[in-house]
Chain A
Amino acid sequence: MDKIFTIDNEIEEVLKLIENDKSVINKLSVKELEILDEYLSDKKQYLTEEIGEE
């Protein structure tokens, strides 16, 4: 990665890349993985709560 992605759109772009090609994840740094990890766990929590409310 040229630079650390920080905003939601950039994170979603990276997730799409990984979705299409799993090997992309091997190119990520610890910092980038930590950002993805935090983003995804928040997203999962949000979706779980939304389903619970519905």
Chain B
Amino acid sequence: MENRDELKVELISSFNYVKTNKHSHFSAYHIVEKLLSHKDGSYFERAHLEYDEMDLIQNLILNKKVIIDFCLKHPEVAYDVLFWPIMFKTLSTKDFSGYSKEQILTLPKLCREVIVHPENIYKMKVQHRVDDRLLYSIPEDKPWEALEWIAVHAPDKLKFVMTRTSLISPFGRNNVVEHYSQIEDKSKIPEAILAYIEGDEQLRKFQSEHGKKTSVIQQQMRLVKKMSWFDDNGELLKLFELADGMQITSVEDYKLIATYFRNSDMSVSEFCRKFKINSVEGFKKMCEKIALTDPDFAEFYKENLETKSREYVATIREQIENVSASQTAIPDMLEGHKTKRSLETVMKMGQSIVTYPTLCAFAENVIKYYHERLNSYDPLSTDEQEILKRLTSAEVKFLMPSKVSAKYKSGASINLGNEFAKPFVPVINQVNPSVKNMVYNRKNGLMKGLDSYSLNFDYNSYATGNTQLIMPDGSLLQTTEAMADMAEAYASKHKLFKSASTMSRIVRAIAEGKIQNQAETEEYKQHLQKRVLKTMKECKTLAEYFEKYRELN
């Protein structure tokens, strides 16, 4: 093993190089490799990293490509790295968009442990947005066992898993129906799967009765003409370009993009906007080509085109009117997975589809609703937290278009400072003053709600000694309030992201004497005390002035 001090010097110099040469994947890659290789086979989560190393990793997380490349090269640690909590929370399907089918198919093998252990999948289901990561975790050698486990333990995810006939899913309607039709004893099939199959058979019957009218020959001629992905010179057609210089180099790349589109539940224009695809027409051509050879996709695409445009105008208009008339209509509109999109649509289309007073009434009711909803939030309930997360991310955009954007830059998974919200500001400002005060109060509540997600450090548990940490020598450490305070002060002073894992490492280091910041903590405490007293005084003066001003006017 290399000398630790030398290694640290090397890491820091490599990191400095990465900072000044942002596109140097090699150097960032080099750092990750070093970090892992000198731990004697242990990996991020279990490694007792030094604090400058933690910083390095946190910065590297911003460059997910480096991490994924690393996992593909080092399969022995890929599971641990990809399912490292910070990494896991930030990964999304688009992070895998630059990879080939073969590479992506490697990932389920690495992550099969997740599906094998019910606890893990439950954790994934309730704590994270599962989406395609659930598919990545299905082991290739026993997919049906995994499917049945999902049917029993997470039936709400069953449809999602079974309807993704993609590169990353072993299922798909035909496969599912075929597999289970071979099983004679239907009592062995989970109820949720049976219901799906029966529904599917009904659908097939309808299709065969009312199906295709075009002749087979005509269809085949059209297919031959339209299904080619290459031009006359044999070059791959360039239907559109992606942002950030990402290249489409194969038909598989197009198919992968189509899979992401299908899984996204977006309209064509939304998807192109979100992923900065430069030609909507080109994207549609791609979808048409895929639809020619993939009936499932064809069905999805046709339905998507027909419904999405109608949905936008008609549903949103009706919902705005309902919500403006009564708060009871709000849950239907804003507690689904389309919350953000619904609000964005209202913000974008509001005044063009309903009257201005209706829009004001809508804003007022939504603000009041959020206020009440957030007040009834139960921090002990994970599901409740998931709802809060959805509500608050929508609320930030809706109510605070510019003010809070800076605060959560480091840890947030939320994009703030949204352009959509700007036209809505005058509407919010017109809402009566008491609601405006409510907005201010909610901002504080909101911050704390967000804290529970993005910071995730259970200060109370540490301060009251309820947390026991396992030390490197195997002993148990009983935490204290002083330790928790020192960790807080250390993290604040060093501007560290206060995730649970980071903070537990800091507390360990404090207990081991690696961090000795008693004096620094005391100094920080005094600084905070002075600032609190000063700001209290200023607020009092401002409030008195405000009161007087109002009386006089």
Contact = CB atoms under 8 A, between A and B. Distances in A.
Interface in B203-247: none
Interface stretch (B160-168, B328-336, B345-353, B536-544): B536-544
A39 B448 CA distance: 10
B485 A51 contact: no
Contacts of B447: 38, 42
B444 A42 contact: yes
A30 B488 contact: yes
Given A46-B440, A51-B542, A51-B545, A37 B535 contact: yes
Contact of A37 (B444, B481, B532): B532
A29 B533 contact: no
A29 B463 CA distance: 10
Given A34-B488, A50-B546, A51-B545, A44 B535 contact: yes
A13 B542 CA distance: 19
Contacts of B460: 3-4
Contacts of B481: 29
A1 to B, nearest CB: 10
Interface in A4-35: 4, 6-8, 11, 15, 18-19, 22, 25-26, 28-31, 33-34
A37 B492 CA distance: 13
B83 interface: no
A38 B488 CA distance: 14
Nearest to B439: A46
Interface residues of A, number: 33
B463 A31 contact: yes
Interface stretch (B72-80, B175-183, B523-531): B523-531
B549 interface: yes
A17 to B, nearest CB: 12
A54 to B, nearest CB: 6
Interface residues of B, number: 36
A33 B460 CA distance: 14
A39 B443 CA distance: 10
A40 B528 contact: no
Contacts of B536: 15, 18-19, 40
B465 interface: no
Contacts of A26: 529
Nearest to A38: B447
Contact of A47 (B463, B521, B524, B546): B546
B544 to A, nearest CB: 10
A15 B533 CA distance: 9
Given A19-B536, A44-B535, A37 B463 contact: no
Given A26-B529, A30-B485, A48 B542 contact: yes
A33 B533 contact: no
Contacts of B532: 18, 25, 33, 36-37, 40
Contacts of B312: none
Given A30-B528, A47-B539, A25 B533 contact: yes
Interface string B436-450: 000011011101100
Interface of B: 440-441, 443-445, 447-448, 459-460, 463, 481, 484-486, 488-489, 492, 521, 524-525, 528-529, 531-533, 535-536, 538-539, 542-543, 545-546, 549-550, 553
Ranked nearest first, the 7 interchain pairs of A and B with the lowest CB-CB distance are: A33-B528, A40-B535, A47-B542, A30-B485, A30-B488, A31-B459, A36-B532
